[in-house]
Amino acid sequence: MTPYGVSHLVPLAVFAVGLLVVVLLGRRPRRSRRLRVVERCWAVAIVACTVPFQLYDAATDFELGVSLPLHLCDLAWVAAAVALWTHHRIAVALTFYWGLVLTVQGLVTPSLGEDFPEGRYFAFWALHILIVWAAVHLVMDPSLRPGWPEYRATLAITLTWAGAVYVFNVVADTNYGYLRAKPSSGSLLDLLGPWPLYVALEIAIVAAVWAAMTAVLHRPAERRAAAS
């Protein structure tokens, strides 16, 4: 797929239009039974848009370095589906932090060798778009916004994933999570220097951005509480 060609710009346009819809949905009262039905259908759609493609890909075009669900976005879609279905605070936090900082990079600088109309093309865009939509939608509700305990939990889970996947990469000679090398198609990681510096800087930057996001989410609530 050519970055910012037609097959890239069309999914971005779909994402932008859908983003307006999910923001409006997020502003509706959470007690609305209709909204809960929509969210649970959304959770089912995430599973339906990812699992069949992954199984088909593994059965028909398996590649050790590509087909295993070891990228962080492969965990993010699980978190998003659980968050939409249950509103569990850790699942919401994982969706929020992973979706808005990490998964969104896949929209801006996709590392995708396939193009329209190949199966991996559709699976890639469905996965990334639905996750980011879910992240934005869920935090429109102040009661679901992650706090510092959820921030720490997300950081711990992410570091555990990174350590485990790096070991697998070394053993299997793969590059899941781009923990051993940068994407060949170019990405924001190109600005962070060579390996392993870019990995360390990425972790530090992501942790700092997540902390800033948490602080921004809760600053208005803290001011209202202080004023009262």
pLDDT of residue 89: 95
Q: Which tokens belong to 105?
A: 């990079």
Scanning 61-174, the segments in alpha helix (DSSP H) are 72-86, 89-97, 104-108, 119-138, 148-172
Q: Which of 29-38, 59-68, 152-161 has the lowest mean pLDDT?
A: 29-38
76 vs 73 pLDDT, higher one? 76
Determine contact, residues 135/141, Cβ cutoff 8 Å: no
Report the alpha-carbon distance of residue 202 to residue 192 in Å, rounded: 8
Helix (H, G, I), strand (E, B) or coil at 101: helix
Which tens digits make up the pLDDT trace of 83-120? 999 999 999 999 999 999 988 888 887 877 778 888 77
| CB within 8 Å of 22: residues ≥ 6 apart | 133, 134, 136, 137
Place of tokens 């697998």: 168
User: Of all helices (H) and strands (E), which one includes residue 58?
Assistant: helix 33-60
pLDDT of residue 220: 55
Residue 225 has pLDDT above 80, yes or no: no
Helical pair 72-86 and 119-138, crossing angle rounded to 10 deg = 50
Which tens digits make up the pLDDT trace of 172-222? 999 999 999 988 776 778 889 999 999 999 999 999 999 999 999 877 544
